[in-house]
Chains A and B, each alone.
Chain A
Amino acid sequence: MRRMTWFNVTSLTLGFAFLYLPMLILIIFSFNESKLVTVWAGFSTKWYGEVLRNTAFLDAAWVTIKVAFLSSCLATILGTMAAIVMVRAGRFRGRTVLSGMIYAPMVMPEVITGLSLLLLFISLGMDRGVFTIVLAHTTFAMCYVSVVVSSRLVSFDQSLEEAALDLGCSPVQAFRLVTLPIIAPAVISGWLLAFTLSLDDLVIASFTSGPSATTLPMKIWSSVRLGVSPEINALSTIMILVVAIGVITASLINKRNVVRQRREEAAAEKLA
Chain B
Amino acid sequence: MRRLLIAVPFLWLLALFIVPFAIVFKISLSDLAVAIPPYTPTLDFAEGWAGLKAFYAELDFENYIWLTEDDLYWKAYLSSFKIAVISTLLTLLVGYPIAYGIARAPQEWRAMLFMLVILPFWTSFLIRVYAWMGILSQEGYLNQVLLWIGVINEPLIILNTNIAVYIGIVYTYLPFMILPIYAALEKLDISLLEAAEDLGCSRFSAFWLVTIPLSKQGIIAGSFLVFIPTIGEFVIPSLLGGSRTLMIGKVLWEEFFSNRDWPVASAVAVVLLLILIIPIVLFQRNEQKQREADK
Chain A residues close to B by CB (< 8 Å): 1-2, 4-5, 7-9, 11-12, 15-16, 18-20, 22-23, 25-26, 29, 37-38, 78-79, 81-82, 84-85, 89, 92, 94, 97-98, 101-105, 107-112, 115-117, 119-120, 122-123, 135-136, 138-139, 142, 146, 171-172, 196, 199-200, 202-203, 207, 217, 220-221, 224-225, 227-228, 232-233, 236, 239-240, 243-244, 246-247, 251
Shortest distance from the beta carbon of A178 to any chain B beta carbon, whole Å: 16
Shortest distance from the beta carbon of B8 to any chain A beta carbon, whole Å: 6
A228-B101 contact given A23-B128, A82-B9, A171-B1, CB 8 Å threshold? no
Bound: A239/B118 CA distance, A: 16
Q: A98-B13, A107-B229 are in contact. List 11 more A-B contacts (CB 8 A).
A: A15-B101, A18-B174, A22-B131, A38-B141, A78-B12, A101-B14, A107-B228, A107-B280, A120-B23, A203-B234, A227-B133
| CB-defined contacts of B283 to chain A, threshold 8 Å | 107
A251-B134 contact given A11-B97, A107-B276, A120-B16, CB 8 Å threshold? no
| CB-defined contacts of A224 to chain B, threshold 8 Å | 126, 130, 133, 239
Shortest distance from the beta carbon of B53 to any chain A beta carbon, whole Å: 19
Q: Is the interface of A mostly helix, strand, loop or mixed?
A: helix
| CB-defined contacts of A81 to chain B, threshold 8 Å | 5, 8-9
Tell whether, in the assembled complex, residue A38 and residue B140 are in contact, meaning their CB atoms are under 8 Å apart.
yes
B69-77, B212-220, B262-270 - the one binding chain A: B262-270
| CB-defined contacts of B89 to chain A, threshold 8 Å | none
Chain B, residue nearest A121 (CB): B20
Shortest distance from the beta carbon of A80 to any chain B beta carbon, whole Å: 9
Tell whether, in the assembled complex, residue A104 and residue B17 are in contact, meaning their CB atoms are under 8 Å apart.
yes
Bound: A221/B126 CA distance, A: 8
Chain B residues close to A by CB (< 8 Å): 1-2, 5-6, 8-10, 12-14, 16-21, 23-24, 27, 37, 94, 97-98, 100-102, 104-107, 113, 115-120, 122-128, 130-135, 137, 139-141, 144, 171, 174, 190, 228-229, 231-235, 238-239, 249, 252-253, 256, 262, 265-266, 269, 272-273, 276, 280, 283-284
Tell whether, in the assembled complex, residue B266 and residue A20 are in contact, meaning their CB atoms are under 8 Å apart.
no
Tell whether, in the assembled complex, residue B269 and residue A112 are in contact, meaning their CB atoms are under 8 Å apart.
yes
Which among B18, B115, B127, B233 has the highest number of chain A CB atoms within 10 Å? B127
Bound: A5/B126 CA distance, A: 36
Q: Is the interface of B mostly helix, strand, loop or mixed?
A: helix
Tell whether, in the assembled complex, residue A19 and residue B135 are in contact, meaning their CB atoms are under 8 Å apart.
no
Tell whether, in the assembled complex, residue A123 and residue B234 are in contact, meaning their CB atoms are under 8 Å apart.
no
Bound: A107/B273 CA distance, A: 11
A139-B13 contact given A25-B141, A247-B122, CB 8 Å threshold? yes
